[in-house]
Structure 1
Amino acid sequence: MRLQRTLVALTAVALLTAACGRSGSGVEEETGAGGAAGPAATGDFGDLRDICGPGDPKSSPAQGVTAEQIEVGVFTDMGFSKKSEFVDAAKVFTTWCNEAGGIKGRKLVANTRDSKLLEVRQRMIESCREDFALVGGGAALDAMGVKERLSCLLPAFPAQTSQVGNTGSELQFETVAGGPSYSPYGGFYTWLLKEAYPGSAENVGVISGDSPVTKVLELQTKQALTAAGGTVGYSELYPAQGVSDWTPYAQAIKSKGVKGLVFLGDFRSLAKLEQVLTNIDYKLDWIDANSNSYGPEFLQLAGPAVAGQNNLLDLGGVHPLEKADANPATRQVVELFKKHAPGKPVTLQVVRAFVAWTLFAKAASSCGDDLTRRCVVEAAAKETAWTGGGLQAPVDLSDSDAPAKCFNVEQATPDGWKPADFKPDTGAYRCNAPAIKFTDPGGKPLTLADVGKSMSDVK
């Protein structure tokens, strides 16, 4: 990653992170200042039983682990992005877990590792000195610290990953479906181009923010669209610092007859583009707004363009937040936030973080008093259908490079985001996604061998 870029350009990288990390803005839960009573701290989460609870630990078997507590690191770019979802999720989960007794009697302590966009390596070095593992976080430029993480044999359970050097790297359990060799959107694009809007397949456009992160995603997206039966007839970058007038882009889309558009960038920019498209009376068959747009802010910014265009996105198998009452695990997250972080929004990043926290808690609890890195890694690797207690469709964590099988599509409406008519076949999800393998993924994840280590070094 070359860092000889302006601060404005780096701001755009941060804004694009959620899209690149396959996460999103989410749906805000309005709560009163006093919060709500919330569920009892039983140690059960969703359909998971006793992932937190009492115990009588005696030993200090690993760095960051004593008889009293477990220290874990939570990466965030909060100091730069001003978004605190990962820190909020850590506070809520650890508070709930500790009230239930902790991890077999050990208190969870979450150390915030604020990388502030550019300080990933520095925070990783700190985490290597103090933490037992990384849990429930993420950073835009996460590849900057992966070499240090592997060198110090630090396991990671991230809420999201962003860069190709980190996604799929070793000693890491990514609960987002889709390994680094495969498109996570194979099911979504196939549904768009072959079922929902087959007439759009002949002319699809891709607009990307001009940053190293999104350029890799653009490369991957074009391969996935082509493999799904589409023809990319229009492709354009927009400056990382933003665009003052989206009219030339809208006119080019109209003049070229683009029927479907994948937008890889900041949802604020997408809202402005859609306003211009609507004003010049051009409606595409569909726009992939990406999960970064999943939340009320995009709809508010887009205004009349919400009705003027057809915005769709793939939640990647996460249960819709607007349907929380229909799903016990999602409802539990909402209730826990009302109790422990009243007024804070429950977003897609929050849910992703909880999926990671529950995995760590279950794996660590299974180790009992002898809580070592090797034990927690081996325990997590046994999960072949991980749902985070029911927060998402199953993901096989025993294979770090498995293709995504399930997807679910959301559609923007003036009344909010709602599930589209994508014909789910497994609850809220459709689980017949084809495996679309990249011919060129744009790089490869780092391995233990790359830093002169192996699994035998993990103790």
Structure 2
Amino acid sequence: MKRKNTAKLLAALAVSATLVSGCATDRGGDVGVPVAGGSGTGTDSSSASTSAQKFGDLDSPCGEGDAKGSTDQGVSDTEIKIGFGDDRGYVKSPGLNKEMSDAVNAMIDWCNEQGGINGREVVGTDYDAAMTQANSVMQEACASQFMMVGYGFAMDQTAEQTRVACNMVSVPGFTVSPDAANGPMTYQGVPFPVDYANGSQWFQMAEMHPDLLNDFDLINSTMPTIISSTTKIRSIAEAAGFKLKNCGVTLNYEGESSYVPFAEKYKECGVKGLWTSRSASPGELNFVKALDQVGMDPIFFGEATWYGQTVSDWNKDTGLLDNLNAGMTFQMLENADKVPAVQKYIDLVEAGGGKTALLGMQAASSFLLWATAADECGSDLTRQCMVNELAKADDWTAGGLHAATDPGKNMPATCGLMTSLKGDEYSQAFPATSGEFKCDPKYLVATDRSTWGTDLGSDRISTKFLNPNLIKPQS
């Protein structure tokens, strides 16, 4: 992507506009969902905007303009139709990932208040996949939307064949299944590919507790996506120097009548630290209670989804997670006073009565990535142009929301930070300076092929649903 030229920038700065920051709070994440905080700029570009508005250190990609033409499905002289959504209607977890839709709604409002994208209004359709309806949602989107942006469906594997078949270019907030994570025509603000991983949390845990390298184990689950995640985590932990125990404990995803026998088994195994790839579900919290019942107080270590209001509220009453650590490549919400992009995200979402959370920041990052590419395309707003521009995106931080990633190459960050919890207060545990990440090339871990869950071509794209009509980057 190209940078603004001086003339356009001066013209943009000359425009006088009154902008209302549009758009309340939880940090949360959720079951079986990967969550990916910085240095770096936005992308290797920022195109002309008719406004001096910024998102952190990223020049706004939104603004007035004279883009014309019905250039692709969902694009007209006046509108760009995009789909987004979450699983908020899932009956077993009402409101699941709603923070993602709250974020995209807020970002759309913010963008349209500036004039849209080159003068075209962004019109969003907010889909509810309710966990089991992802394919139905994708079928609807295939018939009307230009692109899918900032969404996250926990069962995205059920929709991937449909998405690829209709050439629905996507910038999701997160992906779960291997075929979606490395899918064709997919670019994420915070990539989560199957063949590479950001292992910063394990390397940082090794620095924090070098005496415990032989005393950690993983909590296994019966849920397929968590099985896949846990298998990958084992290889990452070993790359960071851990010699994990194998206590043979697997928890039923649907819950156990009693978690005490499982806690006893870990105690007998001599465990002093436990990793979970699952989020803070009622079952997982009951398991934490069982650890206390058998006299264990291990370091409880998990995905960034353990950074959330549900966890802090629960710990305020119990204190049983005062040994919790969660690794992140996003900035903490508590660092908003040090990181303008985080403050901007909070202001926008809260103004609209929405829920702020880690997955919400992830959705906001992907929306900004999409909007930056769409701005570059100008009047020639086609899916082909979007793929061309998105494939160039690198050094992406969404204005400072997270550590730098490479969306164009589907590569994660090589930076991270560690959070800790005491009572209901989260703080940054590592590195020592709040608002800073530690970065190291060794944090990027190539995962074992046996953990991928799909076959990749030489371009690192899943081969499962490939067809001759795919939209590929053109030079």
Pairing 1:446–2:456 present: no
> 2:415 is paired with a residue of what secondary structure?
coil
Q: Structure 2 CA distance, aligned partners of 1:258 and 1:448?
A: 40
Pairing 1:76–2:86 present: yes
Q: 1:145-188 deviations in whole A, cap 9, x for unaligned? A: 1111112111111111111121121111122255320233x221
> 1:73 is paired with a residue of what secondary structure?
strand
Q: Structure 1 CA distance, aligned partners of 2:133 and 2:141?
A: 12
Query: Is the contact between residue 61 and residue 368 of structure 2 (CA under 8 Å) also seen in structure 1?
Result: yes
TM-score (norm 2): 0.83
Closer, same or farther: CA 433–254 of 1 in aligned 2, 3 Å: farther
> May I ask how many residue pairs the two structures share in their alignment?
420
The residue aligned with 1:202 is: 214
Closer, same or farther: CA 449–120 of 1 in aligned 2, 3 Å: closer
Q: Structure 1 CA distance, aligned partners of 2:324 and 2:182?
A: 30
Note the residue ranges of structure 1 that are not aligned, 5 or more in a row. Answer: 1-15, 25-40
Query: Is the contact between residue 164 and residue 465 of structure 2 (CA under 8 Å) also seen in structure 1?
Result: no
Closer, same or farther: CA 264–389 of 1 in aligned 2, 3 Å: same
| Counterparts of residues 55-66 of structure 1 (less than 5 Å) | 55-66=65-76
Residue 305 of structure 1: how far off its partner (Å): 5.1
Q: Structure 1 CA distance, aligned partners of 2:236 and 2:248?
A: 14
Which is further off, 436-445 or 105-114?
436-445
Residue 243 of structure 1: how far off its partner (Å): 2.2
Query: Is the contact between residue 423 and residue 430 of structure 1 (CA under 8 Å) also seen in structure 2?
Result: no
The residue aligned with 1:408 is: 417
Query: Is the contact between residue 300 and residue 324 of structure 2 (CA under 8 Å) also seen in structure 1?
Result: yes
Q: Structure 2 CA distance, aligned partners of 1:427 and 1:323?
A: 6
Q: Structure 2 CA distance, aligned partners of 1:399 and 1:354?
A: 20
Query: Is the contact between residue 62 and residue 373 of structure 1 (CA under 8 Å) also seen in structure 2?
Result: yes
Pairing 1:378–2:388 present: yes
CA RMSD of aligned residues (A): 2.4
- Which of 267, 286, 290 is equivalent to 1:272? 286
Residue 215 of structure 1: how far off its partner (Å): 1.0
Query: Is the contact between residue 51 and residue 365 of structure 1 (CA under 8 Å) also seen in structure 2?
Result: yes
Pairing 1:430–2:438 present: yes
Amino acid at match of 1:412: L
Note the residue ranges of structure 2 that are not aligned, 5 or more in a row. Answer: 1-27, 37-50, 455-460
Amino acid at match of 2:188: E
The residue aligned with 1:181 is: 195
Query: Is the contact between residue 42 and residue 100 of structure 1 (CA under 8 Å) also seen in structure 2?
Result: no
- Which of 417, 420, 441 is equivalent to 2:426? 417
Query: Is the contact between residue 187 and residue 390 of structure 2 (CA under 8 Å) also seen in structure 1?
Result: yes
Query: Is the contact between residue 404 and residue 433 of structure 1 (CA under 8 Å) also seen in structure 2?
Result: no
Q: Structure 1 CA distance, aligned partners of 2:472 and 2:200?
A: 37
> 2:241 is paired with a residue of what secondary structure?
coil
The residue aligned with 1:121 is: 135
**What percent identity do the matched residue pairs reach?**
26
The residue aligned with 1:243 is: 256
Residue 442 of structure 1: how far off its partner (Å): 3.5
Closer, same or farther: CA 396–456 of 1 in aligned 2, 3 Å: closer
Residue 134 of structure 1: how far off its partner (Å): 0.6
Pairing 1:369–2:379 present: yes
| Counterparts of residues 274-423 of structure 1 (less than 5 Å) | 274-284=288-298, 286-303=299-316, 306=319, 309-315=322-328, 317-339=329-351, 341-342=352-353, 344-400=354-410, 402-423=411-432
The residue aligned with 2:146 is: 132
The residue aligned with 2:161 is: 147
Q: 1:366-421 deviations in whole A, cap 9, x for unaligned? A: 11111111111211222210011111111112312x35301111111114111003
Closer, same or farther: CA 238–307 of 1 in aligned 2, 3 Å: closer
Closer, same or farther: CA 384–308 of 1 in aligned 2, 3 Å: closer
